Structure 1
Amino acid sequence: MKSIVFCSVVAIAFATAPAFAQDETVSAGTTDAAQDSGGVNDIIVTATRASTSVQKTPLTIQVLSSDTLTKSGVTDSAALQSAVPGLTFTSGNVGQTLIYMRGIGTSILGLGAGSSVATYLDGVYLSNQQQALQKFGNVERVEVLKGPQATLYGRNATGGAINIITREPGSTMRLDADASYGNYDARTFRMTASGPVSDRVGALFSVLYDEHDGYARNLTLGNRPNADRTMGVRVTFKADVSDATSLTLRGDYSYRKFSDYYKELNPDSIFFFFDDSDYLPDPWEVRNNFVNRSTSRDRGVALTLKSDLGFGDLTSITSFRQFNSGPTVSDFDANDGPYWPALNIGGAILGDTLRSRQFYHESYVATDRAAPFFVTVGANYHREKAKQFVFRPLSFSETVVGAGTSDQTFDRWLDDETVSGFVDAGANVTPDLTLTAGVRYSEERKDYSQFNYYTANVPAGLAEATRTDKSWSPKLGAEYRPTSDLMLYATATSGFKSGGFAENNPFNTFKPEKIWSYEAGIKASFLDRRGRFNLAFFHADYEDLQIQQLVGGGTSFVRRIVNADSAKIQGVDVELTLRPVDRLTLGLGGEYLKTKIGDAILCEPTLPCTGTSAPFNAGVQNVKGNPLPNAPKWSLVGNVDYDIPLGNGMVNLHADASYRSRAYFNYFGLATLANGSEVSQPAYVNLNAQIRYEDDAGWSIAAYGQNLTDELVRTWMDVLSNYSSPATSTTPIDRGTLTGARFAAPRTYGVRFGYSF
């Protein structure tokens, strides 16, 4: 029935498409001069809060246009990692999105923590970790900014920032629609229609439907975990109030229904202690006695004012967003019943919910960067109020392991308020030399409280805590342009990530992270702009890393957050684009990354950790010198596009590949357990391809494939070990390392039909 309804909607949309036919408009994110001469597109970005060419922007930035996203199969923000070297998306809990860039990220979950890579949607900061996973429907381009961005983007951008820019209505009618069908009963429909309502008002309407069945198989219930369905709508109105002033009103709503898939990979896990038959070697098969499921609703409205003041451009954004998720059910003990039958002990999340309300305002004025002196000055206010309900009637959860005597039920509240001001100024000392300097002052207050209905291991009853973090985040830069096609630059930038609270214990507070990053690079165009080469060297001094760990042993494990001393990060980013002939485009990019953590006394996850120092317990170790998690030493990408004229249209052949060396999921550099079970992600190659035909009338058909070699890619792993029995038993368990994992999608393929004018 779902397929019939889906096909009917698609048929109606395509049947009505020709009635709107008008001239095609050009994306505002690119300029066509280079393309018309056979060169590489010159892309316009807003990374510096002003419109600049990507080749004139003094930082490492990768831009993916709507066309590039479609060709590469990048349908959401998590898939960006296949196209952007050094970027990693992972999920530490159901629906929780954790982002790493250049090795900088966080595994800390809960209301009291924030991301290390900031995500912005049309200039609006998305503060909730779950909101960072955005589906790409009506997207004009995505800008990925590497390195600290605190001066212009504020807190929680120590690793970088991701800007998602959606399309605005143009001066002529335009329609873009496509529908696809693939294996795992994957069905996608996207449509965006825009055009003028009057001489000064334009409107845009966009819808998205994206669904697939689960990639995994639950042999107990016969269902397929890992299914996902997203539906979304976006409306935009843009009014030119005068020749100098415009107002843009945006509204969006999305609904997601999905199921988690958590696979226990270790055959010697505690989960199989009483029944080895529950272990299944196939990574896509599991035995669970619950149907995993969760939902989320994300909605928002934003008003953007832009005005030419004569001496500069004013931009003012005011937004309100609301995000709800749950109730969430996730069975993660890999059993078709309790893994400890005698005590009726299992592992599942059976009712978590989250409610978040966010208000955001930012205003800034940017003067002409071509003037002898230029400046961007602005202020920002953000407030989030959130409530979380946690219900886990288990002996094993993400907060407490082992007691087995009561349900784990929590109410949690967060009130997070931030005020900041920033200035970024520069001087064109000569026509070829520009010097810049900037600073942001931020002040953030967090009020966090928890009512714990569970009496064991963590504080019971009501616990409340408050912290205020203040920071100055300066930056310095220099740009030298010996020719119009070559820029040399050097920057020193700082970053700041606010402190917070462990989700299970408000009294476990942690300090802010701070970082200084130094980057020197070149941006060059050559061969009459048929080639583009960008190179950047970077080094970062990272202080007070916020690290999450499980500590304890015997009958109790508690999640705790500490600040490590420091880390050193250095590496090289490179990007090469060639257009040797008019219809052939080649791309190659890569990042070499070397990370090393400083002094940090942590609990090694495969050893008991009941003492406070190494002489008392082998599990307490100093991880100094180890690499950071989710920081592969090598990450490479490559792509090729070739256009072949055919009849009244064009055939496009596209292929792209990415390579990543081994990545660890913990600070101990663990690759395998003693029994050979893998607890890291080995090096792998991901290969995607598409063949597409589009005729002159705008109709198109394409066949695509993602992960064509069907690589098994672990996006997240948790390693926990040496559990003893619950307090109600005196029999210890001497085996049982848990190696729970989540995976990227297996091989997928399908066909796509489209129409554009």
Structure 2
Amino acid sequence: MSLASLSLLLLAGASPSAIAAPRLDPPVMVATDGANDDPDAQQAPAVQDRNDIVVTARRREERVQDVPIALSVLSGETLADSGAFNVNRLQQLQPSLQFYSSNPRNSAINIRGLGAPFGLTNDGIEQGVGFYVDGVYIGRIGASTFDFVDVERVEVLRGPQGTLYGKNTTAGALNITTRAPSFTPEAKIELSGGNYNFIQAKSSVSGPLSDQVAVRISTSGTTRKGTIYNETSGEYLHRQRNIGVRGQALWKPNDAIDITLSGDVNIQSPDCCVQYYARVGATQRATNRQYAALATALNYTPPSTNPFDRVTDLDASINSRQEVGGASLVANWDLGPATLTSVSAWRYWDWQPQNDRDFTGLPVTTVSQNPSQQKQYSQELRLASNGANTLDYTVGAFLFHQTIHTQGSQVQGSAASRWLLSGSDALNPNVLNGLTSTNTISFDNTSFAVFGKLNWEVAGGLHLQPGLRVNYDKKSGFYESVVSIHNSQYDFVATADNVAALLAAKPVGAARTTFQNQINTLAPQRYSPAFSDWNVSGDVTLSYDFSPDIHSYATYARSFKSGGINLSGLPLNSTSTGVDLSTQTVKPEKVDHFEIGLKTQFLDRRLTVNLAGYWTEITDYQATVNNNAINVIRGYLANAGKVRSRGFELDSSFRPSQRGNVYFNAAYTDATYRKFTNAPCPPELSGGSASPASCDISGQVLPGISKWSLSFGGEVNAPVANGGQVYFGYDGSYRSRFSSNPSASAYTWIEGYSLSNFRAGYRKDDFNLFAWVRNAFDQQYFELLSTQSGSTGLIVGQPGDPRTYGLTVSKSF
């Protein structure tokens, strides 16, 4: 074990702790401790109590089956057993959830295929899926990629939630609740080890400092060798090296008031995230300018053309270091008829990446990175009625302020001229070698909203639940790109102010063409976009309780996703020396959402079957386009005319006895562009002199969405003589094929795949020991496929993890 690994393990395990009680329920349920229950002694009321799962999805404690929302709940035990220790792995348990990440900054959480556009992140837009930790809204999905630390449960809410949550969440929300400080002393520790030198340690300790104050300290540390070997550096990439610490102090001066002060910091330094040769497809470029001919001309051969050999030769540094942290103060005051809640928070995110953006061992783009620093402040006030009354309510106000500062850079290497240009300039490495773009980007975002939701029991079991939200958003930004090159042949610094004069100084001939090629490859520009707008949104739900165990609902929601500003550079105008300022902003998304649902339990609540069907239409959908600028790595945002997502979902579980349980969850999603006439063209239509500037992809599927997604599994156990229990569990998932390009391409379909995870172990009281294997059949699959900039035909991929296995032991005290 390395010194770094040992230090990580010691810090993460500094305080004793254990995984919570073993999971006996499927992911749709929250587990309770039943390890030593006698099945022959069960009574129906006990079973009912066990399945009365309490959630806070509607900002009050309620039984999950009573909530008229498509909602799934994952307990901390479920997450630990399945190995889902971060957001990325949740999608294996939740079929309607999609998570995509080429690195932490370029991450997206989508629900039912909606939330954020597929592709590289643009700081100037909102996310459509709200991400909350203990009531605090996290403003950037990149800051959600930390390892879970002492999580009590994760609630996945599907569909618009803006009348209940601080930020207007048009596609859904992930609501993570961590374990609260306890006035009863407790401590837990969990240690795991596995192949690829995997070591993970989690711990927590909690207890009282006085009759009124309790504290909890939780730590987590993960280290693992990478799964992809880089022949150039001699290192393994896709390693994990994460550490997190969270502290909470609860002050409860009386039964009516509780105040919790929390602070956390998470540091990650993985050699991540890697994409490399997956396949090649023909584009509209001339044959001598496509990948095969270029590789031959540059005497280049990739180390393997089978991406699942897990070998690459990337020649630029790779890293995805980030630091995420913050503090919050949450206060609840029980006023009798209602509870007043205040959530005050400050968060930060420091992102320090290194990438190889040409995805090859050639020096084409030797540097492409956007270090960013985000800070956010938020304040939410909420008043929610207590108890089950004829008229219940939740009203609130939310204020959010966010700043982002980014220092981008891109540098072209000695192979860039041949790779990106045509004509005589392609044969002169100095034309682009050393060409550098230095970008200064800033973003200021202020949002304010008031919202409310009523629950009126019109008659016995019949509820009318209207909601309203008034929202104001103001965004402003600054983008400047300064382009320079200094070598034996070319020496200039081009800015938005002087580029026209520099071009005029080269009025004719090869000098003008060369300079034009240089500033077309990396364009100097400067602009200051701004956006502000009010909007009013709302929803209404009609629900009916046929019995205590059968509930139905129907919902209509009209919601908005705030307009945005482009902060990744704008397309060039007709003279190719300026930018198209008409593309600085994008209009808000307007969402019309219809949903019906049925929530049922049978057999003394041993069998749960929940169904939901939905139809969502979005006008002015915010999408990524590139205006046929073939050398651009990062596109810009534009509005597609209309998008539709429709489908149905099934969540089901069955516990015939304490000796076993099974679950089956399914999602069918039909998500298509109904109108998108200015879309980026797929690679097979790009790169040629006659290639269209845009394509009409109306009727095509949205990227990243499988028609069918499933999760299924269960657990069986048997008592042993000493009062303990042996058990065997299985968790499986399946996704049908999906497109991995903003415009569907024959080259970027990811074929369907299934994953299987097994575990087997022994537990007694507060002790648990189990062996596990994940991706047990070593399924070879891609998480992402991408096109290389330049339309050479190279398709690069990011493979999913291979088979991993190991052992976990936990103990609580």
TM-score, normalising length from structure 1? 0.89
**Tell me, what secondary structure is at the counterpart of 2:441?**
strand
> Does 2:647 correspond to 1:576?
no
Residue 329 of structure 2 corresponds to residue 278 of structure 1: no
1:178 matched to which residue of 2?
Answer: 190
Mapped to 2, the partners of 1:84 and 1:558 lie a distance apart of: 30
| Residues 41 and 142 of structure 1, relative CA distance in 2, 3 Å threshold | same
Give, in whole Å, the separation in 2 of the partners of 1:435 and 1:215.
53
Matches within 5 A, 1:7-406: 17=16, 36-37=46-47, 41-93=51-103, 95-105=105-115, 106-107=117-118, 109-155=121-167, 157-259=169-271, 260-267=273-280, 270=291, 272-273=295-296, 274-278=298-302, 280-283=304-307, 284-326=310-352, 328-338=353-363, 346-349=364-367, 352-368=370-386, 370-394=388-412, 404=432, 406=435
Q: Specify the code of the residue in structure 1 equivalent to 2:409.
A: F
The residue that corresponds to 1:492 in the other structure is 556
Deviation at 1:333, TM superposition (A): 2.8
User: 1:418, 1:445 within 8 Å by CA — same for their partners in 2?
Assistant: yes
- Could you say what secondary structure the match of 2:535 adopts? strand
The residue aligned with 2:710 is 636
Aligned to 2:763: 694
SS in 1 for 2:106: coil
Q: Report what 2:450 is aligned to.
A: 421
1-structure distance, mates of 2:749, 2:436: 32
Residue in structure 1 matched with residue 287 of structure 2 by the alignment: none
Matches within 5 A, 1:383-532: 383-394=401-412, 404=432, 406-454=435-483, 455=494, 456-457=519-520, 460=524, 462-505=526-569, 507=581, 508=583, 509-532=585-608
CA shift, 1:418, in A, is 0.4
Residue 342 of structure 1 corresponds to none
- Secondary structure of the residue aligned to 2:90 is helix
Conserved in 2, the CA contact under 8 Å of 1:114 and 1:156?
no
Q: Deviations over 1:710-752 (max 9, x none)?
A: 22232222225764xxxxxxxxxxxx21312223211111111
CA distance in structure 1 between the partners assigned to 2:724 and 2:107 by the alignment? 41
Deviates more, 1:223-232 or 1:603-612: 603-612
Classify 1:559/1:247 alpha carbon distance in 2 versus 1 (closer, same or farther; 3 Å). Answer: same
- Cα displacement (A) at 1:708: 1.0
The whole-number CA distance in structure 2 between the counterparts of 1:294 and 1:481 is: 49
| Contact 2:104–2:143, Cα closer than 8 Å, also in 1 | no
Deviation at 1:367, TM superposition (A): 0.6
CA distance in 1, matches of 2:85, 2:700: 34
Tell me, yes or no, if the aligned pair for 2:8 and 2:243 is still in contact at 8 Å: no
Match of 1:363, as an amino acid? L
Q: How many residues align?
A: 721
Report the AA paired with residue 447 of structure 1. S
Contact 2:627 2:694 (8 Å CA) reproduced: no
The secondary structure found in structure 2 opposite 1:482 is: strand
* Aligned-residue offset at 1:607: 4.3
Residue 300 of structure 1 aligns with an amino acid whose one-letter code is: G
CA distance in 2, matches of 1:250, 1:392: 39
Q: Which residue of 2 is the match for residue 744 of structure 1?
A: 800
Note the residue ranges of structure 2 that are not aligned, 5 or more in a row: 34-42, 282-289, 422-430, 484-493, 495-518, 571-580
2:676 is equivalent to residue 663 of structure 1: no
* Greater shift in the superposed pair: 530-539 or 348-357: 348-357
Quick check: 1:607–1:618 contact (8 Å CA) kept in 2?
A: no
Shift of 1:314: 0.9
- Say if 1:465 and 1:433 are closer, same or farther in 2 by CA, change over 3 A: same
* 1:249-306 Cα shifts (integer Å, max 9, x gaps): 1110110001221112125663735335225123211012233123111111000000
Whether contact under 8 Å (2:79, 2:85) holds in the other structure is: yes
In structure 2, distance between residues paired with 1:98 and 1:392: 23
Give the CA deviation at 1:380: 0.2
Letter in 1 for 2:157: L
3-state secondary structure, aligned to 1:564: strand
Paired with 2:8 and 2:374, the residues of 1 have a C-alpha distance of 36
Q: Is the 8 A contact 1:155 1:496 kept in 2?
A: no
Amino acid across the alignment from 1:743: P
- Offset of residue 75 of structure 1: 0.8
Question: Helix, strand or coil for the counterpart of 1:42?
Answer: coil
Q: Say whether the 8 Å CA contact 2:357–2:368 is kept in structure 1.
A: no
Gaps of 5+ in 1: 339-345, 674-678, 724-735
Query: In the aligned structure 2, how far is the partner of 1:204 from the partner of 1:465?
Result: 44
1:704 aligned onto 2:729: no
Provide the C-alpha distance between the structure 1 equivalents of 2:404 and 2:753, rounded to a whole number of angstroms: 39
Preserved contact between residue 496 and residue 513 of structure 1 (Cα < 8 Å): yes
**How many angstroms does 1:337 deviate by?**
3.7
The Cα of 1:664 is off from its aligned counterpart by 0.7
CA offset digits 1:311-331 (Å, max 9, x no partner): 2011110001111010x2212
CA distance in 1, matches of 2:262, 2:255: 21
Output the CA distance in 2 between the equivalents of 1:12 and 1:633: 40
CA positional deviation for 1:134:
3.0
Residues 227 and 236 of structure 2 are in contact (CA less than 8 Å); yes or no, is this contact kept in structure 1?
A: yes
CA distance in structure 1 between the aligned counterparts of 2:267 and 2:712, rounded to whole angstroms:
34
* CA-CA distance at 1:477 after TM superposition: 0.5
**Residues 229, 258 of structure 1: 8 Å contact kept:** yes
Give, in whole Å, the separation in 2 of the partners of 1:504 and 1:11: 39
3-state SS of 1:291 partner: coil
Q: In 1, distance between residues paired with 2:647 and 2:404?
A: 38
Cα 1:37–1:619 shift into 2, 3 Å: same
CA distance in structure 2 between the aligned counterparts of 1:313 and 1:206, rounded to whole angstroms: 28
**1:606 maps to 2:675:** no
Question: For 1:151, what is the secondary structure of its paired residue?
Answer: coil
Q: Distance in 1 between matches of 2:655 and 2:31?
A: 16
- The alpha carbon displacement at 1:461 in A equals 5.1
Please give the per-residue CA displacement for 1:381-416, whole angstroms capped at 9, x wherever unaligned. 00011100111112799xx97683620210100010
For residues 235 and 195 of structure 1, the distance between their equivalents in structure 2, rounded to whole angstroms, comes to 12
1:726 paired residue number: none
User: Secondary structure, in 3 states, of the residue corresponding to 1:532?
Assistant: strand
CA deviation after TM superposition for structure 1 residue 608, in Å: 5.3
Match of 1:343 in 2: none
Which residue is equivalent to 2:637?
A: 561
- Are the counterparts in 1 of residues 8 and 221 from structure 2 also a CA contact under 8 Å? no
Residues of 2 paired with 1:496 and 1:554: CA distance? 33
- Corresponding residue for residue 730 of structure 1: none
The 1:41–1:348 alpha-carbon spacing in structure 2 relative to 1, beyond 3 Å, is farther
Matched, 1:680 2:692: no
CA contact 1:545–1:564 (8 Å) conserved in 2: yes
Q: 1:174 to 1:721 in 2, by over 3 A?
A: closer
1:621 is matched with 695
Please state how far the C-alpha of 1:703 moved relative to its aligned partner: 0.5
Amino acid at match of 2:701: P
Query: Do the aligned partners of 1:609 and 1:620 also contact (CA within 8 Å) in 2?
Result: no
Q: CA deviation at 1:575?
A: 1.0
Identity in percent? 27
CA–CA distance in structure 2, aligned partners of residues 34 and 470 of structure 1 = 52
